[in-house]
Structure 1
């Protein structure tokens, strides 16, 4: 349903802004705009930003129009609800700090713990077989972190 609502929003905004599909240049191709307008494709945040730039609107305007169409409520009503939600989360007081460091996968964190423990036991004089038995890991795992 959201793809169809976005399709309607995009068609409406293009007509309202007198922008042709061919006017989109750069990252968004005419064929991609056409697929979006037919509801055959979903939009990414990056593409949404590019489309909004071509239409001279903020990306949130397109999102508000899309969700409003999907829920059959006015964008103003939707934005008021969002404002109240953000206010209850203190979202209006402080912007979220963008963390540029990629999240570390839990398996990597666990592997680092295993490696550290293997190295600690190795420093205490244990061999691979003993470490394997003490930690309950395969000998090959102990060897990999040796």
Structure 2
């Protein structure tokens, strides 16, 4: 079963179990959209998934546990137990992520900034562009780009 099919099955199952209509669970979207979700013809955003879970009376994680249980053909408690085990092993079970926490720069941007600093350091030490390129094992065009960005 695909994830989309599992989502469709779980949504339909949970909605019917609560005795709710398609219109009841998502008043901010068209009933036809919910119908297409339940038919597995549409994908869903995280925001919409959370809204649907709330309308059904579940936490979004509980809702997704039911979805993944349907996908894997396992009970939801096994999915949740696996999640707890993985989070514990990764030392994340007790972690709290602060809102607006500082984002880490993308790896390439960080590497580029490090290269720029190294080029400018060599320039300040009186090295030529060719010497800097050989020393840092980068192309002379890369050295030239950072060399002239200081001015």
The TM-score range, normalised by the shorter chain, is 0.7 to 0.9
User: Which residues of structure 2 form unaligned runs of 5+?
Assistant: none
Which stretch shifts more, 105-114 or 133-142? 133-142
Correspondence list, 1:52-67, <5 A: 52-67=53-68
Alignment of 1:18-97 (within 5 A): 18-23=19-24, 24-26=26-28, 28-79=29-80, 81-82=81-82, 85=85, 88-89=88-89, 92=93, 94-97=94-97
Corresponding residue SS for 2:138: coil
Structure 1: runs of 5+ lacking an equivalent? none
Is the alpha carbon distance of 1:60 and 1:137 closer, same or farther for their aligned partners in structure 2, counting shifts above 3 Å? closer
Change (3 A) 1:129 1:111: same
TM-score normalized with structure 1 length? 0.76
**2:136 alignment counterpart:** 135
Instruction: Identify the residue that residue 102 of structure 1 maps to in structure 2.
Output: 103
TM-score by length of 2: 0.74
CA RMSD of aligned residues (A): 2.8
Task: Give the C-alpha shift of residue 139 in structure 1.
Answer: 2.4
**Structure 2: how far apart are the matches of 1:87 and 1:105?**
24
